Amino acid sequence: MATQIKGPALFLAQFAGDEAPYDSLDNITKWAAGLGYKGVQIPTFVGSLFDLDKAAESKDYCDEVKGICEGNGVEITELSTHLQGQLIASNPVYDTAFDAFAPAKVHGNPKARQEWAVDQLKKCAVASKNLGLSHTVSFSGALAWPFLYPWPQRPPGLIDEAFDELARRWRPIFDHYEEHGQDIGFELHPGEDLFDGATFEMLLERVDNHKACMINYDPSHFILQQLDYLAFIDIYHERINAFHVKDAEFNPDGRQGVYSGFQGWTQRAGRFRSLGDGQVDFSAIFSKLTQYGYDSWAVLEWECCIKSAEQGAAEGAPFIASHLIEAPARAFDDFAGGERDEAQIKGMLGL
């Protein structure tokens, strides 16, 4: 019997590099398949693995990409535009740092950089359609994030205007995605204006509950915020289009808590871990997602400050596989039931 949730799959962004087997789509998909992965999430911002411009223009190129993956034993799960999505809305405080996410020709020019990012997002919708996919994943960008903590006191209307502008920038992109049969799952992530359920709702309301506005569910970011990541699924399961399987831990002490005191990753109270090394209850997560009918991919995103990427990837595939659930074809107590008998029912109720 097949599992409802597909997997295991691997997000390739953290593994791409200049040396084999991480230097080309052919090599990295062979490597991933050899570890037991059945799917790969492709970062559109890594040119050695994927040419987004060409994919948006050429169905033949997309067929070639699919052929490479399928020939090596993996499917494409989604395309990722995390870095480009970050640039759709960027507070000026981040201009220097985030220039690195865009080509040199737009460095130092936030308007041109944003226009480039919008073009990239729109190309991703076309490329995803050309690949026969329907889901993509991204970041929302951040205008309001520098004002997260309300001190100094925020002027009235600051946050409303930030989210109004976020909606103005994303609405045309959502429309473009819907026209191409696609959606965008935002990874709700500290550093983005969409970092939890409340902020996601603030955008969703402003875009009239647009069907293309979705969630890439990643419990690791909720551990670090001390958000109930299981109740989140109860609330937002209809908006979850993708699933990053990433572990984390939160160990506050007398010196630091949620904000983690500007410490490096190994010294932080909240830190990302390889699968099984953190505090996320993945058995409960897979159960809830199965309960609510999630039938897309479970994708490992490796980020760990202690364990190597190679070990994390090798351990990740069997970990995910062990959590996949074969949904029942019939109720467990069917054997005790029978056909509806109206006379029996009325008799049992004394009617």
292 in any annotated domain = yes
219 in any annotated domain = yes
Q: Which of 130, 163, 131 is nearest to 147 (CA)?
A: 163
Q: Which residues of 35-61 are buried (b: 16+ CB within 10 A; e: fewer)?
A: bbbbbbbbbbbbeebbbbeebbeeeeb
141-189 pLDDT, tens digit per residue, is: 999 999 999 999 999 999 999 999 999 999 999 999 999 999 999 999 9
178-234 pLDDT, tens digit per residue, is: 999 999 999 999 999 999 999 999 999 999 999 999 999 999 999 999 999 999 999
> What was the pLDDT predicted at 3?
83
Q: What is the dihedral of CA 257, 260, 266, 271, to 10 degrees?
A: 70
Which residue carries 């597909």 as its tokens? Answer: 6
38-65 pLDDT, tens digit per residue, is: 999 999 999 999 999 999 999 999 999 9
Above 70 in pLDDT, residue 334? no
The answer to whether residues 76 and 128 touch, using CB atoms and an 8 Å cutoff, is no
75 in any annotated domain = yes
228 in any annotated domain = yes
Range of the domain at 130: 6-349
User: Cα separation of 76 and 65, whole Å?
Assistant: 9
293-327 pLDDT, tens digit per residue, is: 999 999 999 999 999 999 999 999 999 999 999 97
Give the end-to-end CA distance of the chain in Å, rounded to a whole number. 44
Helix 197-206 to helix 158-179 angle (10° resolution) is 70
DSSP 153: P
Report helix, strand or coil for 130: helix
Q: CATH no. for residue 67?
A: 3.20.20.150
> What was the pLDDT predicted at 340?
87
User: Cα separation of 81 and 228, whole Å?
Assistant: 27
Above 80 in pLDDT, residue 335? no
162 in any annotated domain = yes
β-strand pairing of 247-250 with 270-273 = antiparallel
User: Cα separation of 68 and 58, whole Å?
Assistant: 16
DSSP 154: P
Q: How many structural domains are present in the chain?
A: 1
> What was the pLDDT predicted at 146?
97
β-bridge partners, 298: 243
19-29 pLDDT, tens digit per residue, is: 999 999 999 99
Above 70 in pLDDT, residue 346? yes
60-112 pLDDT, tens digit per residue, is: 999 999 999 999 999 999 999 999 999 999 999 999 999 999 999 999 999 99
> What was the pLDDT predicted at 328?
77
The verdict on pTM exceeding 0.85 is yes
Above 70 in pLDDT, residue 336? no
267-293 pLDDT, tens digit per residue, is: 999 999 999 999 999 999 999 999 999
341 in any annotated domain = yes
User: Cα separation of 100 and 26, whole Å?
Assistant: 26
> What was the pLDDT predicted at 1?
55
Lookup: tokens for 114: 């944003």
β-bridge partners, 244: 299
Q: Show the CA angle centred on residue 296, arms to residues 295 and 300, nearest 5°.
A: 130
143 in any annotated domain = yes
> What was the pLDDT predicted at 53?
98
1 in any annotated domain = no
User: Cα separation of 194 and 196, whole Å?
Assistant: 6
